Amino acid sequence: MAKNIMLQGTMSNVGKSFLTAALCRIFRQDGYSVAPFKSQNMALNSFITPDGAEIGRAQALQAEAAGIEPSALMNPILLKPTTDVGSQVIVNGRVRGNMRAADYFRRKKELIPDIMTAYNELASQHDIIVIEGAGSPAELNLKADDIVNMGLAELVKSPVLLVGDIDRGGVFAQLIGTLELLENSERDKVKGLVVNKFRGDISLFHDGIDILEQRSRKKVAGVVPYIKCDIEDEDSLSDKLNSKSSEGVIDIAVIHLPKISNFTDFDVFGQYDGVSVRYVSKAAELGTPDMIIIPGTKSTIADMEWLRQSRLADRIKDCFKAGVPVFGICGGYQIMGRTISDTVGSECGGSISGLGLLDCATEFTAEKCQTQTKGRFCHIEGFFSCLSGAEFYGYEVHMGVTDDLGKALTTQGGSFFGNAAGCYVHGIFDSAEVSGRLVRALYQRRGLTYSGEAVDRRKYRNMQLDLLAYNVRKNLDMELIYRIIEEGV
């Protein structure tokens, strides 16, 4: 069986996911077979594995860092919020149903056998398992039924590194306060502290390390700087979603839907010089961009109603009439059609008229499409003719079935009309051929020429993972970490 180490945080968004990815890459570089594990994840950014299972996008990235195929074993429970008080519950990569938060919390301990089966199978295949916690282990009202932080550490007998985020301030209170709120048996599992996202001269924090070690009686395993590398963020806490202004030659506006999902679909454009991606949540912010993208959503009908109420629906249609190209992915594709109907209550129920930019209608069903896919763009007219014949890869994850009367966009479905296009494929822009053609066409539309090179997102992501691992290795006491893993709990 594999040895293990667990990263827990003092709060959400302290960088656990990135540090987990970094350790996976470091252990792989050191010759170990390694895999990530997160028992329960709540995120709208998901990924489809080669065998059609749905897991958190972060675990797929961590698997890539480890050099292995992603698997449902790495994330046996995924919660995808559909409302403020409810989520779609996915167990072992498949939908179990929608559940109110209160009902899920009452029943989640019933999922421990699923968690342990997944963990034990994963541990039988690898040398080291790097486990990621969620939120904070010191949420006192939730500790009794914990299956993702100290509760999981006890189940799998894992030592813990506690991570604090100095960039958000109060790192002493974060780390020492969290330890003080733990039970003695839980505190004993914490074998080291990590100060993450440090800006400036780390030598000025030497006294801080001494204070932390004296007050906590725990070793500081490292002070990791704020690393500038372009790696996909997991959820709605991402700083990318706060980008509101265009600083580039080309302005791509992504509609920031309330239940936006898989916004990593657009990270590829950040690789291109002169291209800005901004997220728009108000009609007054939209302006006249070079391209509008309507992303995926976990609540299509509710987000279409929000588009109406916010007047963004009218502004998108005005831009389209003015010649601005509009592309929709998954829920965004559904929103661009004539109607959306959810008679079976797959999401929030009801029906609504869409934007009417594409000649298609969507009916939600109880079955969920989960598949990796690849194909080729068909012969297209209008702005997106630049993509005709281009090959793409990606994945589909959606509940709806779309009856499309428009002209086919790709060999895997979707349609186009004028300068509007949409399909179900997440990651469709990731290939160098697709993103490169689009960027060049956007430049040409402005009477300019793009002279840079196109970069395949997968290759670029691997370069960024190496950069992350290099910087984390430099600033963590890896000798201590290997000793923690060897000694266990």
Q: Which of 330, 348, 360, 423 is catalytic?
A: 330
Q: Which of 126, 256, 398, 426 is catalytic?
A: 426
Q: How far apart are CA 480 and CA 209, in angstroms?
A: 15
The residue behind tokens 């009452």 is 106
Rg (CA), the chain: 23
The residue behind tokens 């980008």 is 243
Burial (CB < 10 A; 0-12, 13-18, 19+), residue 40, is buried
Assess whether 330 carries a catalytic annotation: yes
Which tokens hold the place of 36? 């990530």
Q: How far apart are CA 66 and CA 47, in angstroms?
A: 16
Q: How far apart are CA 422 and CA 307, in angstroms?
A: 17
Q: How far apart are CA 67 and CA 61, in angstroms?
A: 10
* Cβ atoms within 10 Å of 190's Cβ, excluding its own: 24
What's the one-letter identity of residue 45? N
Assess whether 319 carries a catalytic annotation: no
Which tokens hold the place of 4? 């293990």
Measured distance between the N- and C-terminal CA atoms of the chain, rounded to whole angstroms: 15
What's the one-letter identity of residue 287? G
What amino acid positions are annotated as catalytic residues?
A: 330, 426
